[in-house]
Amino acid sequence: MPETSARQTLINRYMWSVVALGGTLFLYSVHKLPYNQLDFRFLLLFLLTVAISSRIAIKVPRVNTTITVADTFVFLTFLLYGPEAAVVVAAADGLSSGLRISRRWMTILFNAGANASAIFTTGAIARLLFGIDLNIASQSYSLSLVILCVVAVAQYLFHTWLVAICLGLKTQRPLWQAWSSHYLWSSLTYFIGAFLAGGIVKLENTISFYAVLAPLPIISIIYFTYEKYLEDIRATAAQAERAERERAEAEHARAEAERLRAEQAEQHLEELNRYVEKLEGAGKELQESREHFRHAAFHDALTGLPNRSLFTEHLRLALGRTHQNDGYRFCVLFLDLDRFKNINDSLGHPCGDELLILVARRLETCVRQTDVVARFGGDEFAILLDAMQDPSDAIQVAEKVLQTIAAPFKLTNHEAITTASIGVALGSPNYKEAEDIVRDADTAMYRAKDIGKARYELFDTAMHTRAVTLLRLETDLRRAIENEELCVYYQPIVRLANGELHGFEALVRWHHPERGLVSPGDFISLAEETGLILPLGLNVLRQACRQLRKWQQRSLSDRDLIISVNLSGKQLAQPDLVERIEEVLQESQLKPWHLKLEVTETVVMENPEVAAVTLAKLRALGVLLSIDDFGTGYSSLSYLNRFPLDILKIDRSFISTMNQTDENLQIVKTIVTLAGNLGMQVIAEGVETEEQLNQLRLLKCQYAQGYLFSEPLDAVQADLFILNRLNSSPAAVLIPDAVSFMM
């Protein structure tokens, strides 16, 4: 920057000028020194000034000034040996002190130059005013005082201005300001220096110079002690300052810590709030999932209806109310869809599920808000009718439910029709447990199913007794199977063309220890329900096959007898049925074509796909297949040819009424024709009269079975029947054509 360098040049020029002036004056002074006067004292003063110089400086507190010993020595030299000697000592002092305060030669030389110039000028002025001899020792005190004052003032002004100009240039301040701010008060230094020197010169008259200098060590000690004291004060002040600073720092740190703590506390509070919020959120979530689980635990997932647990809970409360309030009545409806399995099997489970949901919604429309509709599982539903006015209300609701359910259901891709069977149990204080009411409604529902489905049945005590009997029967049946109380009866089947014995139908009987002979009608359905039909059926099959094999082996004429064994729905659905039958055949060494298996239409139509597969396997095995009770069940003539059937058994109900109306006769005739068209043979069941027999023969029915020939017989009786059939068998008597044919 040009301005800065210009200023620096000016400063340099000024300083060098002072140096040059001081140097010139120094050289001039050296030249003009009064060498003859210079004694050992001068040397001592010179050395002391150089050695001690401004090292000993007393800073006057509160006033920006210092009294240096050097100043006193310079003034002393001035007064004793004249200004030239003072210039030499001042220059030496300037160099020596300059060397200590700076490393720049310019500054050091400037210091010496300024010192030399100032004292030279002071000397020149003093000489101008007071003559050549400035030694005040011989002067009066008042003149000495004036001289000292002039010297002090002159030295003060010249010296301070020489330095202040440089300072002003450096700091770019007005010179006056630079001078006044730094040196206005330093006049005192010069005065003290001058007057001390004056005092010493004056004292020299009375005591020697050395005596004056003698206390110097003491002064030094006092000075250094004072210095030490000052230092201590400074140290103390510094300490106090440090302490204050530390205190301030501590205070600051404390405040900072406080602030941080507050900040942290605030943060913690915020975090805590967030945490609390989160906790509350989690709590809410927990609450929600608890409610979700509670809901799931007490509701049916498919329909959203209350489940059995929740229903039973409501029922318990209702039962409690009947105990407290005499007039309070409630009712339970137990509902089961009829042939729901058919819908599931034929349309698929998704359709079945859809139907159940729709049924649930319809059931809800049949009841009041205060009632409870529940799903127990599968196609079972229950309704609790709360606080009924009259028991007939339950009948009305049951009828409404039957009607509502009977209307067609529109599923996504199908239309389905179903009916329901309902059991109704009226709540009363006589009930102890809620479950008992459900049990009774369930019993009534089974009764409704038994007597034809698509209806409701009211539970009564007789039903309960029956239910209890059934339960006992079940226990007994289990035991009976284990104890082999079950035996097989054989009912002969006769070939109508010649009256020959074709074979037997195996019909199970139970020799009950208390009840005597129990017919299958009383326990087959129970065995079906409980699954006991599987061991039972296998037992019958085994006994029958063994028995037939015995008869076949006994006589050549009996080797083509067949045995007909009934198969239940559960048996047909059994996966290893074919293997089991194969085993039995091997075991009894019976040819498969001597075994005929009877299945009812209903069993086949319950699950046509599975039935078709199993029947095909059985057919492949070589056994004969017969459709039992034809015409009573869910008849689908179109289905008939889908199954590999050999024989069709016309149900007893058609045979017994055959001769009563022409219509019934036509039915039998049609069935026989149909079977013939399908390549099947026909057996007429329940033939009891000769008339029936004749009619059947006219219709070209191949086989017959019925009391006319024989009731079902035990093994011994059947044995006799075989042996005596030509003589004593009613068949022989009643079929003269056949007998004549056989003879």
Interaction site with ligand C2E (CB under 6 A) = 491, 507-508, 519-521, 524, 537, 540, 566, 568, 598, 628-629, 652, 685-686, 688, 705-707, 712
Question: Which residues 378-407 are close enough to bind Mg ion by CB under 5 A?
Answer: none
Cβ(162)–Cβ(18) under 8 Å?
A: yes
Residue type, 130: F
Report d(CA 188, CA 191) in Å as an integer: 5
Strands (E) across 303-414 are located at 331-338, 372-377, 380-385, 409-410
The token pair at 631 is: 């015409």
Angle between helices 105-130 and 83-101 (to 10 degrees): 160
601 contact, one of ligand C2E, Mg ion, none, CB 5-8 Å limit per kind: none
Q: Does 601 bind Mg ion (CB under 5 A)?
A: no
Sign of CA dihedral 313, 317, 323, 329: negative
Query: Smallest distance from the beta carbon of 612 to ligand C2E, in angstroms?
Result: 20
Query: Smallest distance from the beta carbon of 742 to Mg ion, in angstroms?
Result: 26
476 contact, one of Mg ion, ligand C2E, none, CB 5-8 Å limit per kind: none
Decide whether 433 or 711 has the Cβ nearer to Mg ion.
711
Query: Smallest distance from the beta carbon of 683 to Mg ion, in angstroms?
Result: 9
Query: Smallest distance from the beta carbon of 414 to ligand C2E, in angstroms?
Result: 33
Decide whether 193 or 537 has the Cβ nearer to ligand C2E.
537
Question: Which residues 555-574 are close enough to bind Mg ion by CB under 5 A?
Answer: 566
Decide whether 107 or 602 has the Cβ nearer to Mg ion.
602
Query: Smallest distance from the beta carbon of 359 to Mg ion, in angstroms?
Result: 34
Give the C-alpha distances (Å, rounded to integers) separating 21 from 8, 35, 116.
Answer: 19, 23, 9
Q: Give ∠ CA 68-72-73 in degrees, rounded to 5.
A: 110
Query: Smallest distance from the beta carbon of 649 to Mg ion, in angstroms?
Result: 6
Question: Which residues 651-690 are close enough to bind Mg ion by CB under 5 A?
Answer: 685
Q: Does 111 bind Mg ion (CB under 5 A)?
A: no
Q: Does 606 bind Mg ion (CB under 5 A)?
A: no
Query: Smallest distance from the beta carbon of 497 to ligand C2E, in angstroms?
Result: 20
Decide whether 367 or 533 has the Cβ nearer to Mg ion.
533
607 contact, one of Mg ion, ligand C2E, none, CB 5-8 Å limit per kind: none
Sorted by sequence, the CB contacts under 8 Å of residue 713 that are 6+ apart come out as 489, 490, 491, 492, 721
Decide whether 182 or 511 has the Cβ nearer to ligand C2E.
511
- Contact segment (CB under 5 A) with Mg ion among 82-90, 342-350, 431-439, 591-599 equals 591-599
Q: Does 338 bind Mg ion (CB under 5 A)?
A: no
706 contact, one of Mg ion, ligand C2E, none, CB 5-8 Å limit per kind: ligand C2E
Query: Smallest distance from the beta carbon of 584 to ligand C2E, in angstroms?
Result: 13
Query: Smallest distance from the beta carbon of 311 to ligand C2E, in angstroms?
Result: 36
**Of 503, 485, 487, residue with least CA distance to 710:** 503
Report d(CA 503, CA 722) in Å as an integer: 10
Give the C-alpha distances (Å, rounded to integers) separating 328 from 321, 359, 389, 430.
Answer: 7, 29, 8, 13
Decide whether 386 or 629 has the Cβ nearer to ligand C2E.
629
Neighbours of 126 (CB within 10 A): 22
**How, if at all, do strands 703-704 and 681-684 pair?**
parallel
Decide whether 520 or 631 has the Cβ nearer to ligand C2E.
520
631 contact, one of ligand C2E, Mg ion, none, CB 5-8 Å limit per kind: none
- Work out which of 95, 629, 647, 701 binds Mg ion, going by CB under 5 A: 629
The distance in angstroms from the start CA to the end CA of the chain is 157
Cβ(388)–Cβ(367) under 8 Å?
A: no
159 contact, one of ligand C2E, Mg ion, none, CB 5-8 Å limit per kind: none
160 contact, one of Mg ion, ligand C2E, none, CB 5-8 Å limit per kind: none
Q: Does 598 bind Mg ion (CB under 5 A)?
A: yes
CA torsion, ordered 311, 317, 320, 326, to nearest 10 deg: -90
Long-range contacts at 360-365 (CB < 8 A, ≥ 24 apart):
360/303, 360/304, 360/305, 362/404, 362/405, 363/335, 363/401, 363/404, 363/405, 365/404
Cβ(125)–Cβ(154) under 8 Å?
A: yes
Query: Smallest distance from the beta carbon of 630 to ligand C2E, in angstroms?
Result: 10
Decide whether 186 or 568 has the Cβ nearer to Mg ion.
568
The token pair at 678 is: 């399908």
Decide whether 56 or 611 has the Cβ nearer to ligand C2E.
611
Q: Does 628 bind Mg ion (CB under 5 A)?
A: yes
* One-character DSSP codes across 295-313: HHHHB-TTT--B-HHHHHH
Query: Smallest distance from the beta carbon of 523 to ligand C2E, in angstroms?
Result: 9
Decide whether 351 or 473 has the Cβ nearer to ligand C2E.
473
- Characterise 622 by phi-psi region: left (phi > 0), alpha (psi -120 to 50), beta (else): left
Residues found near Mg ion in the complex (CB under 5 A): 566, 598, 628-629, 685
